[in-house]
Structure 1
């Protein structure tokens, strides 16, 4: 609506100028230009950073300055008349900026104590020669994978057979040969509709745009991820959260100590899928309503009481043929800016389960999140 108003002002200014008027076109044109800045704010809704505040500030200042120039041109004094829209905009942006600064200050105050504790843990950890050696080894293992750390990772749909923009794919070639032999494992209806897809192949031109699809794939991936977490925890002495009987509190127990106890296995508190309301918050605040950026709907955590076991678990995951790593964020690196997470540190892995079960259910492209965390930070 604001953008349409800006266009209307510019058109009106051009029309009245062609009719021979001079004062009204200038005033209307200036109003249209400032309204353009206000309309631009709506295009940045949901993005990170104070972009909207900057545009709002620009609008408020531009409206008042441009009106002062118009007043000086016609009445030879910039303060002859005030701009109601400019004054109201200046009042609102001052109020919004004050509220934002107050919210940021309150948040930093709440996190300051936690950050001090986390930083103290890290200093003790880095101060030990043995721990420092394991941290260096962990960083080496992460770097050896040559995976992106800050690049954008997204959720993709499967590639359709015969997509002209796709590069040749061995899986696609194999399925096409099966189709020619009459043994393609798909219903003939999908062949007629051209809806055959290639397992394990991403269509990078087709991002997932449905939260329902993400949650459907996430539900399958969560079950498969639990199975992999059990295997990785057993191989690297991993610890999982276990609930106290009759209490909402929990402690961490080694999976190897409880894996053969049916009653103890039932007390494991597996990480739940991300709640719908939290996903909507992230979509609105950070991802500009694009579900393909949601990478932690299916998630899990493994804790360790030694850095050697944490590194061993990472190496076990890397060697697992049932998963494909998409990205590793090594927050245990000495070069990591810990203030970004209020001092908290872990190894955050984005991965895909590509086992035959995942491919059979169409969930092998769903990106999950796994956190490998030292027990001191987990508590």
Structure 2
């Protein structure tokens, strides 16, 4: 009964967020930033009045009319280069690797430990980040690597009709939780984290989700 209650609470949280994926809103894409030239004239004028030193833009970009609006995506301009995706993903991967430690701490989350005090473990084990953070002997917390280029190209050709903008998981990370209550608490902290913006949420713990589609796996996936 407690487990069912936690699942129902998670469902309510997901519904409140309003980003739940139901199959019909699956067109989450990689978008380019909005360029200043696409803004209405009044907004362009507002940006022009901002002191130049407060906007870190190479002067050459002004000359070619290629100044981007910080934090604003252009829904009409999807990413068409897989090289661009990997360049951005490499940076995002490093940044998110630090944020997931914060999220794991808030929800008592766990990571896989591969080695301890320089010695490889015979069997990888899960350790709570709150128990090992700052402990130098816990020297190899395993994080998921970026998707291999070959696998990305395979997915691009077989599933995404040669559209790089549909590749959403080149950089990926995961946190494991002992129970759904901890997961739900961490989920709330991720969604309200000003350092990231959640675009889509897949709740595969929802009883309505068919686990046959994911080979029996159940999780909560964020884009």
Same fold per superposition (TM over 0.5)? yes
Cross-structure match for 2:34: 159
SS in 2 for 1:186: coil
Q: Which runs of 4+ in 1 moved over 6 A?
A: 167-170
**Post-superposition offset of 1:195:** 1.1
Structure 1 distance, partners of 2:52, 2:95, is 32
The counterpart of 1:254, out of the listed 112, 117, 128, is 128
SS in 1 for 2:209: coil
SS in 1 for 2:100: helix
Larger strand share, 1 or 2: 2
Residues 40-79 of structure 1 aligned to structure 2 (within 5 Å): none
Any idea what the Cα deviations from partners look like across 1:15-46, whole Å, max 9, x if unmatched?
A: xxxxxxxxxxxxxxxxxxxxxxxxxxxxxxxx
Structure 1 distance, partners of 2:81, 2:195, is 26
**Post-superposition offset of 1:185:** 3.1
Question: Which protein is bigger by CA-based radius of gyration?
Answer: 1
**Post-superposition offset of 1:334:** 1.2
Structure with larger RCO (C-alpha < 8 A, sep 6+)? 2
Structure 2 distance, partners of 1:314, 1:323, is 12
**Pairwise CA RMSD:** 1.9
Q: Is there any run of 5+ residues in structure 2 with no aligned partner, and where?
A: none
Larger helix share, 1 or 2: 1
Cross-structure match for 2:164: 291
**Post-superposition offset of 1:188:** 2.2
Tell whether 2:113 aligns with 1:242.
yes
Structure 2 distance, partners of 1:249, 1:157, is 43
Structure 2 distance, partners of 1:169, 1:225, is 35
Contact 2:20–2:203 (CA<8 Å) still a contact in 1? no
Any idea what the Cα deviations from partners look like across 1:78-137, whole Å, max 9, x if unmatched?
A: xxxxxxxxxxxxxxxxxxxxxxxxxxxxxxxxxxxxxxxxxxxxxxxxxxx001000000
Contact 2:114–2:141 (CA<8 Å) still a contact in 1? yes
Would the alpha carbon gap of residues 196 and 284 (structure 1) be closer, same or farther in structure 2, given more than 3 Å must change? same
Any idea what the Cα deviations from partners look like across 1:110-165, whole Å, max 9, x if unmatched?
A: xxxxxxxxxxxxxxxxxxx00100000001000101114132101011111111xx
Q: Is there any run of 5+ residues in structure 1 with no aligned partner, and where?
A: 1-128, 351-379
Residues 331-342 of structure 1 aligned to structure 2 (within 5 Å): 331-342=204-215
Structure 2 distance, partners of 1:304, 1:207, is 34
Residues 214-363 of structure 1 aligned to structure 2 (within 5 Å): 214-244=85-115, 245-247=119-121, 249-264=123-138, 266-350=139-223
Tell whether 2:83 aligns with 1:212.
yes
